Amino acid sequence: MKIKILTLILLSIACLCNAQNVTPAKRKANVDFDAYEKLIPKVKAHRKNRLVDLSTFLKMAEEKGTIILDTRSDSLYKRKHVKGAIHLNFADFTQQNLLRIIPNADTKILIYCNNNFRDDAINFASKIVIPDLINKKIAPISLALNIPTYINLYGYGYRNVYELSELVSTLDKSITFEGSDVK
């Protein structure tokens, strides 16, 4: 009897050891470029009529329940952002995080990024690629955070999104900023 129990224990240990050495089947990452690519034409058509000038942006910002969303880095947001903006770093976009700060998908959301502002390269650094700086023969391109922010908000079901369409001076008195770098 003791030998049978000892044999069962040893077999169990051997099975466990073998199971740990077995390489599990590799699973594909949760990255679906094709689905993202299919989403882009829908977003492009939707976004076309939702680009607003500064005056409209500021009027909409005053409407009850409207959210100004800043998706830049935490450090940039803390240093300087549009007054009243809430922050969710783009890297932290998940359905749960978005629902935490914007629980109603019908909420009016206003977005902006670095490429909407000039005259403050420290807090609103341009995202424009300048080929000469990297010694490459590529076309200049603006890699504004507005675009992936808009696409992702749309993908998460938020359709009441508006984007600042102008390049605005940070010295413009019609817009107010707040943060640690604002005097």
CATH number at residue 42: 3.40.250.10
Q: Tell me which residue range forms the domain holding 121.
A: 31-178
Instruction: Please give the structure tokens belonging to residue 41.
Output: 């034409």
Please tell me the predicted confidence (pLDDT) of residue 20: 59
Q: Quick check: is 7 in a domain?
A: no
| Distance separating the N- and C-terminal Cα atoms of the chain | 84
Q: Quick check: is 42 in a domain?
A: yes
**Residues 123, 42: Cα–Cα separation, whole Å:** 32
* Residues β-bridged to residue 69: 86, 111
Please tell me the predicted confidence (pLDDT) of residue 165: 97
Q: pTM of the entire structure? A: 0.83
pLDDT in tens, the chain (183 residues): 566 655 555 555 555 555 556 667 888 888 899 999 999 999 999 999 999 999 999 999 999 999 999 999 999 999 999 999 999 999 999 999 999 999 999 999 999 999 999 999 999 998 887 777 777 788 878 888 999 999 999 999 999 999 999 999 999 999 999 999 998
Q: Are 181 and 75 in contact (CB under 8 A)?
A: no
Strands 117-118 and 168-169: parallel
Q: How many CB atoms lie within 10 A of CB 152?
A: 17
* Burial profile 25-34: b = 16 or more Cβ within 10 angstroms, e = fewer: eeeeeeeeee
Q: Quick check: is 18 in a domain?
A: no
Tally of domains within the chain? 1
**How far is C-alpha 104 from the chain's CA centre?**
18
Q: Quick check: is 67 in a domain?
A: yes
Please tell me the predicted confidence (pLDDT) of residue 33: 92
Please tell me the predicted confidence (pLDDT) of residue 160: 98
Q: Quick check: is 1 in a domain?
A: no
Q: Quick check: is 134 in a domain?
A: yes
Please tell me the predicted confidence (pLDDT) of residue 31: 86
Q: Quick check: is 133 in a domain?
A: yes
Q: Quick check: is 38 in a domain?
A: yes
